Structure 1
Amino acid sequence: MLSISSEVKKNDHGDSFLKGTFILAIAGIVVKVIGSLNWIFVSRVLGGEGIGLYQMAFPIYLLALSVSTAGVPVAISIITAEKVALKDILGAKRIFRISMAVMAVTGAIFSLATYFGAGWLIEYRFIRDPRAYYSVAALAPAIFFVTILASSRGFLQGWQRMTPTAVSQIVEQIFRVITMVLFANLFLPRGLEFAAAGASFGAFAGAVTGLIVLVYYHWQLERDIRREYGDHLEEKGKRESSFTIVKRIFALALPVSASSVMLPIVANLDLMIVPARLEVAGYTVGQATELFGYLTGMAVPLINLATLLTASLAISIVPAISEAKALGDKLRVYQQTSAAMRITYLISFPAFAIVFMLDTPISQLIYNAANAGPTVSVLSMSIVLLGIHQVTTGVLQGLGHTTIPMINMIIAAVAKVALNWIMVANPNFGILGAAWATVADIGIAAVINMYFLHKYVGYGVDIKQITKNILATAAMSGIMYIAYLEIFSSLASNTLATLGAILAGSIVYFLVLILLGGMNERDIERIPMVGKFIIKLLQRVGAFKA
């Protein structure tokens, strides 16, 4: 574990947050893999009807959670990072105590509201099947603990410690899965509704175990504080009132919460608009449902998976930028922003090439649905744009401008709704119209974010770097096309052919980028854990001088 001083002072062109990005990305992959296995096991126990009961309750839980916790980790991370940067350790601790008290009250309110409101949701037919009542009730206690969990993670992220978040996420998911499978089996003899409720209780078990993990990391942080500063700490600067702190937490968190709530709102608008407009275009109800599944159930999750690294980068950059801003170091803010955007380009361009060039093979490999290929192909256009949007949002939030990304999302969502209405009903577009509307949605938000990034940081698009990325991506695309069609597809299964083409293309991308000067030894050295090993390997093949 790094000492506090080394974590705080580390600022060379984004190194301090790159390690956190890597840690969060690995955790995200592990959590997704465990989650995928979970649905296999739970589906076998509950069957389609039981999963349906669970899914009726889960959106209520997510909505309550979005309102009660979304934005809280970001807000606490920003304020804590500012205090730590100024070495106001007592002030940082006070932020944590106040935020925990506020979030405990908030979590309790939403938890009780969900529990006692379950009957009302059934009575007024917001939930159509009365049997889902037990699942809603079982999910209610988890809201309180997940709210506390969010506050705790935000505080530790403010210290630029991402390992606690990563480890707690993995432990939370493991115990959630174990509890879901165990309790679903245990209560199945009593009826399907009780089995679904047993599975829902997994959220509570996961949150509690995740919180226990964070208690250990808080103890570790306290130990490091005593080692670095001793037992005699003084609060620096003017002491803020509790009301002022709470007011600032909510001022920073509410726009982020509103942005998070926008996602399910837009998803529900898609649900209302896209299938109906597909029917106008001439598709049957069954065909419209199938096409909508290709978009929302296959293409969108694949794009989210492709941008997992940039999503992690967006989380890591927030406290790093907040720290630099608190110190009044504008140059450091610019350097970290530039480093984050450079990493975004390095990651998102090859991700786009993989999904775009191998749209149908990947759809067949992951979903066993080759027909989803065209939709995946169009939506792949959003990968670079989404990466830019995620990271620019993180920078703006780190600067304290949390309202700007929210407004940008609203503007982009309005454009998406309009395009969905117009394009999806056109038989020449159909579901591809909805995919293009999603690309436009993300693109508009990303472009407006870039404008404000230039305004507040002075960062502009690095045309020279992007040109090198595009040339390397073009070479990568050509190699993948040849490798898949001309070499691997005739010799191996679709799975091996797809993986082989991706590996060949990725090697070519990075080699071409190195030859063009778009990636240097310093860039590679920054890669956590494996950077130095890769440099030695490249030195052996003559790419770099030993």
Structure 2
Amino acid sequence: MADSKLVRGTMILTASIFISKILGLIYIFPFTAIVGEEGLALYAYGYVPYTVLLSVATLGIPLAVSKFVSKYNALGDYETGRRLFKSGLIVMSITGFIAFLILFLLAGPIAQIVVGGEDLKGNSIEDVVLTIRMVSVALLIVPLMSIIRGYFQGYQSMGPTAVSQVIEQIIRIIFILCLTFIIVTLMNGSIGLAVAFATFGAFVGALGGLTVLLIYWFKRKKHFERQYQESKVNHNLPLSSIYKELVSYALPLSFIGLAIPIYQMIDLMTFNNALKAVGFDQPEVAFGAFTQASHKLILIPVSIATAMSLTLLPTITKSFINDDQSLLQRQVTQTYQIILYLTVPAAVGLSILAYPAYAALFGLNNIDIGGQILGFYAPIAILFSLFAVTSAILQGINRQRFAVIGLVVGLFVKLAFNVLFISQFEAIGAVYATGLGYVTSLGVNIWAIGKFANYNYQFIVKRFLLISIFTAFMAVVVVLMKESLLLVLPMENRINALVVLLVSVGVGGLSYLYLGVRTNLAGQILGTRLKFLRKKQKSRGKVSS
């Protein structure tokens, strides 16, 4: 029963993550058409510091509260979880308000750093300040939502989190697109004002998500009250002990979750100024293409690979606690295989098709800058996926401090080399610095898993080589198809680019899948998850017998 609840909950959350990610990608296309790449850059100026402060304000609370409540519920002590929830609402209200004040008051200094004390072409300092202050209001609500979601998850109820996330995203996107269209197109207003209201969509969306959670809460209130009354045990823990235990869960989760936002924060503070120093005349266009357009695209393969590995991670924890080394080795191997099998071809394919992908989705206006950045940035998706999964494995074997150490070292590498690389390679230099930082962090994680899980990487290295060979074959097919199509359909408009993109993706995907099925590699890695691969494995077994 517990296993079915775990699988069901994971599937619900995975579905909500996919829907939210896809919606977050789709709305960028019309939004870019309305405000342009400079508007995307301005949007990032507000959202990047907001994301960092939100992570600091919530401190990984949803997962930590979930773990805490689940633990004490299992012991028959429902009252301790309720005490945490009640006091946590007050604490999250305070931390959210403090975070709001910090971001609102620091909007001016952040804007000065971002634009280097002078207005950039297209966005003024006043635009940046207004954008940051508009998005800061969401910090008053989102931390409250986080603890409510965590409390529901502690009862193994994933529905409220999933539904509220999707509703929050839908309301936010509708608000963003409607307001920006009205301001720019109907009222002939400025891009700066439109983007500022777009970031305010975070607050409006949060109101929608909070409303959903409150509806769930009032529906289940009687059920919760009944469980409180039936509590068999009351540990009578002081609040200081409760929060000490909670923080011990939350800090590693929070810091690792900050990885991408902190990397983006480093770029926010250095990217434009470094490009201006080398005479680059469109720093905001490059920044928007890097931190918003390209970033949204590469997170799709990252999400797919990470989501498919999520079901394995709880069992890794269980195997470690039970000291079942044989099962632990198989689970870690399976996790690595799934990530590499799905992410490597997706990242390589996106890199090859960077120009038609960027043209089809974001237009031809800045295709030279956007296509180049996406082409170099796409392979970083492999590093993002591997870092997320290896960090989770380290948490499962209670060695999360090494994931934190790896992240800190990687951030220092990014900070040390970002400006230097940008001065040498312009916008692509920031991609190189991000890649080098993640390679460093990943090196620490891989070493720690090998040492503390006694994991032997020999098999995975061989598997990676085989996947690389299949990916190279797929890459040749994609290049030939893309170049052949471009002879007939030159990239002069978005329709041509879209046709080139879709046909090349289809042919490349089929060629990779054919190799995987033909050699049974796909069956060995994914056969337990996909029906047609299970059938393929069975038919092979019958033939061989």
Q: TM-score, normalised by structure 1?
A: 0.76
Alignment correspondent of 2:118: none
Q: 2:470 aligns with which of 469, 475, 488?
A: 475
2:345 maps to 1:356: no
Q: Distance in 2 between matches of 1:80 and 1:226?
A: 15
* Aligned pairs (5 A) from 1:31-70: 31-42=20-31, 56-70=45-59
Alignment correspondent of 1:203: 202
- Give yes or no for contact 1:386–1:443 (8 Å, CA) kept in 2: no
Q: Distance in 2 between matches of 1:255 and 1:435?
A: 26
- Give yes or no for contact 1:362–1:498 (8 Å, CA) kept in 2: no
Q: 2:324 aligns with which of 331, 334, 349?
A: 331
CA change 1:191–1:161 in 2 (3 A) is same
In the comparison of the two structures, how many residue pairs are matched?
515
Alignment correspondent of 2:16: 27
Q: Distance in 2 between matches of 1:484 and 1:155?
A: 50
Alignment correspondent of 1:3: none
Q: Distance in 2 between matches of 1:443 and 1:524?
A: 30
Cα deviation, residue 173, structure 1:
0.7
Give the percent of matched residue pairs that are identical in Structure 1 and Structure 2. Answer: 23
Q: 1:111 aligns with which of 100, 114, 120?
A: 100
Q: Distance in 1 between matches of 2:137 and 2:65?
A: 23
Greater displacement, 101-110 / 51-60 = 51-60
- Give yes or no for contact 2:88–2:147 (8 Å, CA) kept in 1: yes
Cα offsets for 1:428-452 (capped at 9, x unmatched): x666554443333212212212333
- Give yes or no for contact 1:416–1:438 (8 Å, CA) kept in 2: yes
Cα offsets for 1:382-438 (capped at 9, x unmatched): 444332210121233455655432221111122234444665555xx6665544433
- Give yes or no for contact 2:96–2:143 (8 Å, CA) kept in 1: yes
Alignment correspondent of 1:252: 249
Cα deviation, residue 151, structure 1:
1.7
Cα offsets for 1:465-500 (capped at 9, x unmatched): 552353244234314523651699458841233222
* Aligned pairs (5 A) from 1:412-491: 412-420=410-418, 425=423, 434-456=430-452, 458-482=453-477, 485=480, 489-490=484-485
Q: What SS class does the counterpart of residue 524 from structure 2 fall into? A: coil
Cα deviation, residue 506, structure 1:
3.7
Cα deviation, residue 68, structure 1:
0.8
Cα deviation, residue 154, structure 1:
2.7
Q: Distance in 2 between matches of 1:470 and 1:315?
A: 24
CA change 1:157–1:484 in 2 (3 A) is farther
- Give yes or no for contact 1:30–1:170 (8 Å, CA) kept in 2: yes
Q: Distance in 2 between matches of 1:348 and 1:370?
A: 30
Gaps of 5+ in 2: 116-123, 361-366, 490-498
CA change 1:450–1:363 in 2 (3 A) is same
Q: Distance in 2 between matches of 1:323 and 1:101?
A: 34
CA change 1:297–1:212 in 2 (3 A) is closer
* C-alpha RMSD of the superposition: 4.5
Greater displacement, 70-79 / 39-48 = 39-48
Q: What SS class does the counterpart of residue 307 from structure 1 fall into? A: helix
Q: Distance in 2 between matches of 1:329 and 1:105?
A: 40
CA change 1:278–1:104 in 2 (3 A) is closer
Alignment correspondent of 1:99: 88
Gaps of 5+ in 1: 1-5
Cα deviation, residue 119, structure 1:
8.1
Greater displacement, 339-348 / 494-503 = 339-348
Q: 2:516 aligns with which of 506, 510, 513?
A: 510
Cα deviation, residue 268, structure 1:
4.3
Cα deviation, residue 50, structure 1:
7.0
Counterpart of 2:438, as a letter, is I
* Aligned pairs (5 A) from 1:211-290: 211-218=210-217, 232-235=230-233, 238-261=235-258, 263-270=260-267, 284-286=279-281
Q: TM-score, normalised by structure 2?
A: 0.76
